Each structure stands twice: as structure tokens, then as C-alpha cells.
Chains A and B, each alone.
Chain A
Amino acid sequence: MKKGFSIYISIALVSLVLGIMLSTQFKIVKKGGVVTAQRAEELATQLKQLQSEKEALLKQISELEAKINAYEDSASKNSVITQTLKSEVEKYKELAGLTDLQGPGVIVTVNDSKQPVPPGQDPNLFLVHDEDLLRIVNELRAAGAEAISLNDQRLIATSEIRCVGPTVVVNSVRFAAPYVIKAIGDPDTLEAALKLKGGVVDSLATWGIEVNIKKSDKIVIKKYDGVLKFRYAKPLVEGEKK
């Protein structure tokens, strides 16, 4: 009898421990710690839906822009004043990066290093970072590039180039390597500026980061397709008291 009793105690103890473990695990899972396949699928469909929505909205934007253009065209036919105003607007749009541009220039392709990382070396050094891209863009600007795009995102006054995890964000759009920088300007000057001894390409080559420069007579750079609107900045009128 005594032996039977101790058996029951041990079974009860074991079941108790098992129950505590089960409920603890259940609590962890319920907290959403573990991402289940179902949840991931749900999120994926959500993402897909939002992406198609975004596509539709982008299409709408381009349609509306075409409409505006048509209005401007018809208005400019009416009088000389509106015609000059329109040409003025076109000029500022070009400068602001709101029109597609074409011209001679260079296409710079930057890719992560394919060299094996030697043991003890920081593998980060062999990847393309925002700083590298910024240096290249900066060098292109210094060499007189008139329009620059990164992976078809036009770089305008408010564009950012920033590392987010393993990707780079430009105009709030994420990109992974390889990065294609297009610049319109004098192709020879642009290439020479990048290939300066001790310059950008030279220093990146130390880590095996591939920088491929291709000169071209005709490069098309897309316009900036985001929304340009100042929420805080207001123009300062000359002579106005603060």
C-alpha cells in the first residue's frame, strides 16, 4: 500500500510540473512571441493588398498629372502671358526634379564585395553602406552632374540616402544591393571625378566593393514621383517684420 501511495504522489507531482510548463508555454505563445505560419501568411496578403493599392494610387497620380498638363497646354494657347508662365513653370520643374530628363552621363553600378571575409575582419566593411553611396553622389555633384537618380529614385533637395538594416532607403523606398546611380553631366568629367587617385572608387576597391562606371550618350532619368509639400516652411517675404 505504501508503495502504491508514493507512486500516486510522484505521478501527481509530475503532472503538476507538466501543467505548469504547458500553461507557461501557452502564455508565451499567446503573447504573440512566436510568429506562426498563419500569421505570416496573413501579413503577406495584407502587404500584397497594400502594394496593389499603392500601385493604383500611383497610376491615379500619373493620370491626374497628365490632366494638369493638358490643362496647362490648352491654357498656354490662349495668351502670351500664360505661355511664358508655362515655360517658366517647366524650367522650375526641371530644376526641382519633377520632369524626366535625358542627356549624356554615366551609369555607376555599386555592388557588395564578393571577396571572402578574412577571419577576424568586420564583414560590414565588405558591404555597400549609405556613406559610400553618399560619397559617390557627392563626388558626382561636385563634378557638375545636373540630375542624379539612385535605382531610378530621383535625388532632389529633400532626398535621403540612409541605411536601414541591410537595405538603403532613398525617397522612403527601400533598396538592396546592387545600387545603380545614374547621373547626367559631362561623362568624361564625371568618370574622372570618381576615379581620382585616392578617391571614392579607389578607397572602396580596398574592400573589394565593385564599382562599375559606364559612360553613355543617352541616359534617361525619371522624375521624382513623391509628393512635394512643405508643412512647416513658409517663404520669408523681403522687408516683412518678424
Chain B
Amino acid sequence: MAYIIALSLLLGLIIGFVLPINIPFSYAPYLSVAILAALDSVFGGIRASFEEKFDNLIFITGFFGNIILAGGLAYIGDVLGVPIYLAAVFVFGSRLFSNFAYIRRYLIDRMRRR
């Protein structure tokens, strides 16, 4: 599992660097919020797989749904002049940390049981 994540992440990084994907500068803030959402989904997926509650459909829809929602909300916030992206940063950031805490605890538990 960890190998798969690491390998495909590396592959994605290489693809992104090699391919001339260019996003207009004005969209950069939306992309950063979307990245946060994506990171949250991945951590959530790892946690769910440790808890053996992993559901493929939920994982995939959560990933793309979160990205679109975060980017879209940030865009709408920009249009309305309300910094909604702060909400996305806050929520996804705190969830990232709590997910990481679960993963850490799970791993430590497993190590101690051995």
C-alpha cells in the first residue's frame, strides 16, 4: 500500500514536471486549495485502510469531490470578496493533522503488539 502510494506519487511528480502543464497564474490559489483537499483525501484513505473501513467509491468520489468543491468555493469566495478559501484551508488542514494522528497511533500500536 505504502509502496503504491509512493510510486504513483513519484510518477505523478515526474509527469507534472516533464509535461508542460501550465496553469494561468490567477488560478494558482485555487490549485493550492485543491491540493490541500487532495492531500486530506489521501490521508483519509490511508487511515480508512488501517481501520479496514476503506471503500473504493467513497474514496474516489471524496477525492475529486473535495478538489472540485474546494477550488470552486475558493473561486466563488474570490468573486464575492469573501475569503472562503480560509475555511477550506482550516478544515482540510485540521483534518490532515487528525488523520495523521490516527495513522501514527495505529502504526505505534501495531509495533508494540509485536
Q: Indicate whether A and B interact.
A: yes
- Closest Cβ–Cβ distance, residue B32 to chain A (whole Å): 6
Q: Which of B56-64, B83-91, B100-108 contacts A (4 or more CB under 8 A)?
A: B56-64
Q: Known A22-B35, A28-B25; judge A11-B16 contact (CB<8 A).
A: no
Nearest CB of A to B46, in Å: 9
Interface size class of A (residues with CB under 8 A): 20 to 34
Tell whether A57 is near chain B: CB-to-CB under 8 Å.
no
Chain B residues near A23 (CB, 8 Å)? 12-17
For window 1-52 of A, CB contacts with B under 8 Å fall at 3, 6-8, 10-29, 33-34
Beyond A11-B1, A21-B34, 9 additional pairs, beta carbon < 8 A: A6-B56, A7-B59, A10-B60, A13-B8, A15-B4, A19-B8, A19-B16, A23-B12, A25-B28
Judged by a CB distance under 8 angstroms, whether B73 is at the interface is no
Shortest distance between the CB of A14 and any CB in chain B (Å): 5
Would you call the interface of chain B mostly helix, strand, loop, or mixed?
Answer: helix
Q: Does B69 contact A (CB under 8 A)?
A: no
| B96 on the A face (CB < 8 A) | no
Partner pick for B15 among A8, A19, A29, CB 8 A cutoff: A19
On whether the beta carbons of A20 and B25 are closer than 8 Å, the reply is no
**From A18, A25, A33, contact of B12 by CB (8 A):** A18
- The answer on a CB contact under 8 Å between A18 and B38 is yes
What's the Cα separation between A20 and B5 when bound, in Å?
A: 13
In the complex, whether B9 has a CB less than 8 A from a CB of chain A is: yes
Main secondary structure of the interface of A (DSSP, over half): helix
Contacts A14-B41, A15-B5, A16-B11 given; indicate if A21 touches B16 (C-beta within 8 A).
Answer: yes
The answer to whether A28 and B60 have CB atoms under 8 Å apart is: no
CB-defined contacts of B79 to chain A, threshold 8 Å: none
Q: Lowest 5 CB-CB distances: which A-B pairs, in order?
A: A19-B12, A23-B16, A15-B8, A12-B8, A20-B16
CB-based contact A25/B25 at 8 Å: no
Contacts of A33 in B (CB 8 A): 25, 28
Q: With A11-B4, A14-B60 in contact, is A19–B9 under 8 Å at CB?
A: yes
